[in-house]
Structure 1
Amino acid sequence: MEVQHLLGTNEARLKAVIEATPECIKIVAPDGTLQFMNKAGLCMVEATEAQTVEGCCVFDIIAPEYRENWIEKHNRVCNGESLNWEFDIIGLNGTRRHMETHAVPMPNGDGTFSQLAVTRDITARKQSEQTLKRHDIILRGQKYALEQAVHGKPIKEVLETLVKTVEDQSDGSLMASILLIDPEGRRMLHGASPSLPAAYNEAVNGVEIGPAVGSCGTAAFTGEEITVQNIANDPLWADYKELALSHGLRACWSIPILSSQQRPLATFALYYTTEQTPAPEDREAVELLARTAGIVIEWYREIAERKALMAQLETRVRERTNELNNVNAALQSSNDTLKQFAHVASHDLKEPVRKIKIFTSRLQDETGHLLNEGGKTYLDKIQSSAERMSTMIEGVLNYSVQNGARQINEQIDLNLIIEEIRNDLEVLIQQKHAVVNAGPLPVIEGDRILIHQLFYNLLNNSLKFTTEEEQPVISIGATPVLQHQEACYNIFITDNGIGFDQQQSEKIFDTFTRLNSKDKYDGTGLGLALCKKIVQRHHGTIMASSENGKGATFSLILPVVQPASTELQPV
């Protein structure tokens, strides 16, 4: 009695353990009849009670594509083997699960064996594995496509990589396609669709987009996702269904590929040979890779536009270069004419100046005794000015002959230059009641005519831009300096005139630049520009500092000795 009680207790405990186990525990007879299944197993096959499935053939709940293999494994177990394998079942309510089983032979007492198996539902794990695998395929395809783009591969190859990636991550039941929208936004152009029939690709290439042009043409037109489950009876495919059906295409889902400004650039489509809609994972893959395709397409178009722009610029540069060459030729001709004119004009000016000198001399000789001291002074000034004019004309004549390529350097006493300019500007100095203070100035090497013109322009400039409220005072001085290891002098000319905005300190040396009204202050805007050219010709520098209403200072740094051999630009 005690033994029977103990056996009954153990049996009850074993049944309790079996029923509490979360895995399916089942016994299957050699002919496939289900002899036993615990509660966990009943839940997996969607049975509410054991009587629903026990006594039935277990083969019926095995997914068709796994059934033959399952029966083969079952028979081996019933012949004494222990095996592990995976398979899918389809529950009584149609739910599909992926299972992993460990089966061993269980003796029946008559020399035969049944299958005793512990089976667990690994659907979630399998889905995770498949998801990870899909994501890995997508990421590798995306990375490779971007590498192709960076290395300048043709856009067709890059798009084919993206299309094949979508196909590879799926179960092989779909065909992917990318159609480009032409730059005018009117037609669909072939991009990439390696798995679609070549005749179909050729037929849709160049089709105009519109509100009822299949899935892709409509998606491009509306900028929205288009799903067609059955091409045969969908109005969007009315004009194109014969083409699609003749190539075995039964369904098509398409989304627009957008630019960074959300403008349709292309379409990404999935085709099926059965009537269906895209699986969620396929939609996810296309939506992700469509963004990559948008970046690639936009980049390639920008490169093409940039190349076209560069070609245009190169054409314009060539045209502009030709124009400049023509202008330079015209300028050269004009310069030759001007040089000839300068030569002729200088030559012709000599005669009237010569006569001024002759008749002034006669006037002094014949009537000088009749003039008072003021008259005699005036005659002396006329004679002196005529002498300087003659010298300047001779310099202009020589300068035009030399064409500015070389200058005749000589020792120049700047004290004498300033004194000559004082005499030249004597009337203006008297009119302005100006004071010109000049400290001891150095002797430098240079072209006398140009140096005279330089200081004449600067002094005349200071006398011109004076205020009415204050007596003009102009100071000229010099200090020795070293520049680039060369002995130089820093010569400054300071006035108390109207000044200018310091921000204009470089602009004032530009040709034809005027900072003040032409009505109030006469001039051509060439004086300071010429000064800068003369200073540069003498290997020096010139700067200006000022403040509105507080006068100006012009600082010139000129070398004591000019370089022995240099190529100079014309003034």
Structure 2
Amino acid sequence: MMPPFSSDQPHTILIAASAAYDVRALARMLVHHHFDVVQVHRGDEALKAVRSGNVALALLDVALAGSASLELCPRLRQAGERPLPVFLLSAHPGEEERLRAEEAGAAAYLPLSFTPEDLAEKILLQLQVITPAPLLAGVPTMATLEVNYHTMLAGSPDAILLMQRGSNHILDVNHRTRQLFGITETELVQSDLLALCPPVQPDGQPSAQVFSSHVEQVMAGQAQLFEMTMQHSSGRAIACELRLVPLTTAEHRLMHVRVADITARKLATALRDGKNALLEMIASGAPLSDTLDKLVRLIEAQLDGGHCSVMLLNHDGLTVHNTIGPSLPQDYLQALIGLPIGPAAGSCGTAMFRKDTVIVSDILNDPLWAAYRNAAAHYGLRACWSMPILLDKDTVLGSFAMYYTDVREPTAEDRELIRTASHLAGIAIVRTRREEELQRHREHLEELVAARTVELLHAKEEAEHINEELTTALDNLSMTQEELVRRDKLAALGALVAGVAHELNTPIGNSLMMADSMAERTAALRRDLQGGLRRSVLESYLEQAASADEVMLRNLNRAAALIDSFKRIAVDGGSSPRGRFKLGDVVAELLQSVQPQLRQLDLELIEDVEHWLEMDSYPGPLAQVLSNLINNSLVHGFAQRNHQPGSITLSVHDSGNGEIAIHVSDTGAGIALENLPRIYDPFFTTRMGASSGLGLYITHNIVTGVLGGRIEAASTPGHGTSFMLRLPKVAPL
């Protein structure tokens, strides 16, 4: 055994091997113990390096060691001032070659494929930089075990430990165990398994108590798969899943322990649950500061010693509005508020300015932090990467940053986490801004409503005042209207009476005049009788009496006809029977009565009637209306046609809105445009002596009164006249 290695001894590890041998992994492990690694590819170069006196140990590839006697190995051992330990590395290790290596004085004979971790541990043990674990009383060594357990564990993807039950001392581990805990095999073997755990679990229970309880259940025959928090040599917590299997030999009580690192799974579950909780907070309208604080803590729990912050940008898009970072110094965060963003404004300010992610692995030497590196150094911040929080490609809301206290580059996991955090922060910020905008709209709307309410109250008061005036005016108007209606009725009645008197005066006056004349002739005849009546005088008197009788009868018949027309003016529903009837029946009866006049005048009647249509109305007044309209065409339309062909059309259809449309038209002389407004006036006629002027007046009264409809007239002089009636299928009561 060589004497312990000291700091004043050589610190170079020489590797004599082909160029294909990769020494980088081994160099990274040895640098922590202050060793340099030098590689040569020829034997003479190796001897020269050893003679320099700086080599502490040599690794020699068997392929460069010379002939079968491996003569380069002893030459290297003796090339320096003191014997040099030499490890021979073989690409094809075998028992015969191992014996020759021992004869050549090699300190170790190892496979060339030996892992860098195992090789580094062998070197450090050889140089006594580390010491092997002491043999503990009652703890078996690998040599005393009945099975080569190390060989069995070598290929497992999980960390596997062989432990002595009762003492919890580790007897053997595989390569994955050394990787998981960052401890060499020498440090692990024959140490206590509980040394790999924190004293207390996250739930507050002592680790020893938790582990021993599971061991007891295993020994009681229960399979045990449970979770425990263990720790890396750096102090980092590792979430692990342990499976215990008891092993018993003739001499030893052992425990097989499989350890699976479930940290990533735990972190993924925590991240998923945390994201869901954040989305619920956002949906429920939680304060933005609370949401972002929870987001920062969620992401920090995913990191290995990282600190996170959220910066919010002012609405002007130029300066920092607020910062949130519960694990960062608050003085540092407060100093950032109000600072402008720009092309060299640290990681966050630059990221918001560029609208792109900014990675700064060394704050103290990066120009982006020139203006802020002293503040960062004061608080021990050495690395920072930041991602902008974007509403769209042109609108920046803020930034999410990760800080570390050592120089480092972001991992792929870090980049994915910061993308997730920025996305969630953006959702929360946008929701809050929209809520604030909505609140501003609500407040503005309330102001508008209040102002509008005042206006409406004023308008209501004014409307009420105007309404009072209108009510008064309406009352006055109503009284005035009633007075006017009364006067109009009196005037109409006066006009009607005057018309009646005028119309009756002529025939009655003629009759009276003729009666007076005959009374005088009768008196003269009596006188002649007293003196003797001549035959000629009597014959003359009789002729005059016959003529007078004819005149008087004609005028009295005329007066009787006028009186009959006057009686029809006052027709109403009370004097006419009402019932359901088919229009075809009314039209058929009407046409039968007018056919003689049509044949006499050689006129054609065109019928376009839906005979099945029914009405609940007054058939008598309806027939009178149709008769008056046809008679009007006969008297006024064709009186002077000079035997030219002509026609009258009667059309009856359902208008589809609960009304019957009746159209009566002719191809006669028509009505002058200036006379159309007066055709419904009583006694208005364009043929004095041939018409009383009451036909259309009576028709209008029946249509608008008894039948409850409307009547319209249209005419083109020289081409005919048409009347359109709109009558309800059910007449008003």
Please give the TM-score of this superposition, normalised by the length of structure 1: 0.51
Rounded to whole Å, the distance in 2 between the matches of 1:289 and 1:278 is 15
Q: Which residue of 2 aligns with 1:81?
A: 139
Cα distance in 1, alignment partners of residues 429 and 577 from structure 2? 72
Q: CA–CA distance in 2 between the matches of 1:493 and 1:334?
A: 40
Please give the secondary structure, in 2, of the residue aligned with 1:208. Answer: coil
User: Residue by residue, what CA displacement relative to the aligned partner does 1:334-368 show, whole Å, maximum 9, x if unpaired?
Assistant: 44433333332333342441551463266257544
Aligned residues: 361
Percent identity (aligned): 25
Indicate conservation of the 8 Å contact 2:616/2:730, yes or no.
no
CA contact under 8 A between 1:439 and 1:476: conserved in structure 2? Answer: no
Q: Which residue of 2 aligns with 1:207?
A: 339
Alignment partner, residue 317 of structure 1:
449
Is it true that 1:150 corresponds to 2:208 in the alignment? Answer: no
**Which residue does 2:355 correspond to in 1?**
223
- Deviation of 1:179 (Å): 0.8
> Larger RCO: Structure 1 or Structure 2 (Cα < 8 Å, ≥ 6 residues apart)?
1
* Partners of 1:363 and 1:256 in 2: CA distance: 101
* d(CA) in 2 for partners of 1:190, 1:151: 22
Paired with 1:54 and 1:354, the residues of 2 have a C-alpha distance of: 137
Q: How does 1:129-140 map to 2 (within 5 A)?
A: 129-140=262-273
Residues 412-431 of structure 1: matches in 2 within 5 Å?
none
State the AA in 1 paired with 2:495.
T
- What amino acid maps onto 1:57 in structure 2? Q
CA distance in 2, matches of 1:257, 1:271: 17
Q: Which amino acid aligns with 1:220?
A: M
Single out whichever of 240-249 and 199-208 deviates more from structure 2.
Answer: 240-249
Instruction: After TM superposition, give the deviation of residue 271 of structure 1 in Å.
Output: 1.6
The counterpart of 1:286, out of the listed 418, 424, 446, is: 418
| Superposition deviation, residue 243 in structure 1 | 2.9
Alpha-carbon distance, 1:297 to partner? 1.8
SS where residue 266 of structure 1 aligns? strand
Match of 2:504 among 369, 372, 376: 369
Cα deviation, 1:101-154, whole Å, max 9, x if unaligned, reads: 5489xxxxxxxxxx9845322448989633223223322322232233334321
One-letter amino acid matched to 2:126: G
Give me the whole-angstrom Cα distance separating, in 2, the residues matched to 1:144 and 1:241. 36
Cα distance change of structure 1 residues 473 and 282 upon mapping to structure 2, 3 Å threshold: same
Q: Secondary structure at the match of 2:344?
A: coil
- Indicate yes or no: 2:303 matched with 1:170: yes
Deviation at 1:251, TM superposition (A): 2.4
In structure 1, the partner of 2:175 is 120
Quote the residue 2:536 is aligned against: none
Q: 1:308 to 1:476 in 2, by over 3 A?
A: same
AA aligned to 2:298 is T
Q: Compared with structure 1, are the counterparts of its residues 152 and 361 closer, same or farther at alpha carbon in structure 2 (3 Å cutoff)?
A: closer
What are the Cα deviations for residues 300-340 of structure 1, in whole angstroms up to 9, with x where unaligned?
22222223223333333333344444444444444443333
SS at 1:439 equivalent: strand
Task: Specify the code of the residue in structure 1 equivalent to 2:127.
Answer: C
Question: What amino acid sits opposite 1:145 in the alignment?
Answer: L
| Equivalent pair of 2:389/2:399 in contact (CA under 8 Å) | yes
**C-alpha distance after superposition, 1:4-47 (max 9, x if no partner):** xxxxxxxxxxxxxxx89xxxxxxxxxxxxx98686498324274
TM-fit CA distance, 1:81: 2.6
Q: Which amino acid is the alignment partner of residue 306 of structure 1? A: L
Distance 2:374 2:731 in 1: 91
Mapped partners of 1:238, 1:474: distance in 2: 99
Separation in structure 2 between the aligned mates of residue 151 and residue 208 of structure 1, nearest angstrom: 33
- Matched residue type, 1:45: E
1:206/1:555 CA distance change after superposition, 3 Å: farther
Q: Which one of the candidate residues 428, 431, 434 is aligned to 1:296?
A: 428
The verdict on how the C-alpha distance between 1:78 and 1:326 changes in structure 2, with shifts beyond 3 A counting, is same
Contact in 2 for aligned 1:82/1:102 (Cα 8 Å): no
Pick from 441, 465, 478: which aligns with 2:617? 441
Q: Answer whether contact 2:308 2:327 (CA < 8 A) is retained.
A: yes
Inter-CA distance 348–220: structure 2 relative to 1 (3 Å threshold): same
Task: Mark the CA change 1:98 to 1:348 in structure 2 (over 3 Å): closer, same or farther.
Answer: closer
Q: Distance in 1 between matches of 2:650 and 2:378?
A: 100
Q: How has the CA–CA distance of structure 1 residues 363 and 224 changed in structure 2, closer, same or farther, with 3 Å as cutoff?
A: same
Q: Is 2:323–2:337's contact at 8 Å kept on the other side of the alignment?
A: no
1 CA distance for matches of 2:380 and 2:504? 127
| Alignment match of 2:319 (pick from 187, 194, 198) | 187
* Letter matched to residue 134 of structure 1: L
CA gap of 1:40–1:308, structure 2 versus 1, over 3 A, is farther
1:255 touches 1:269 (CA, 8 Å); kept in 2? yes
Task: Report the secondary structure of 1:186's partner residue.
Answer: coil
1:152 aligns to what SS in structure 2? Answer: coil
Structure ID, larger Rg: 2
Pairing 1:343–2:475 present: yes
User: Mind listing any 5+ residue stretches in structure 2 that lack a counterpart?
Assistant: 1-92, 95-105, 143-156, 165-169, 181-239, 241-258, 508-557, 580-607, 619-647, 664-723
Name the CA distance, whole Å, in 2 between partners of 1:328 and 1:558.
42
Unaligned runs of at least 5 residues, structure 1 = 1-18, 21-33, 60-70, 85-96, 105-114, 389-410, 417-433, 443-469, 478-489, 498-550, 561-571
Paired residues of 1:138 and 1:285 also in contact (CA < 8 A): no
SS in 1 for 2:285: coil
CA distance in structure 1 between the aligned counterparts of 2:441 and 2:393, rounded to whole angstroms? 21
CA distance in 1, matches of 2:336, 2:273: 30
Alignment check: 8 A CA contact 1:214 1:240 kept = yes
Structure 1 residues 38-78: Cα deviation after superposition (integer angstroms, max 9, x where no partner): 64983242749x9967733372xxxxxxxxxxx6xx54545
TM-score by length of 2: 0.40
Matched, 1:359 2:494: yes
Judge conservation of contact 1:188–1:209 (CA < 8 Å) in 2: yes
CA contact (8 A) 1:103 1:118 kept: no
The aligned residue for residue 495 of structure 1 is 661
Task: Please say if residues 653 and 660 of structure 2, whose CA atoms lie closer than 8 Å, have aligned partners that are also in contact.
Answer: yes
Q: 1:138 to 1:37 in 2, by over 3 A?
A: farther
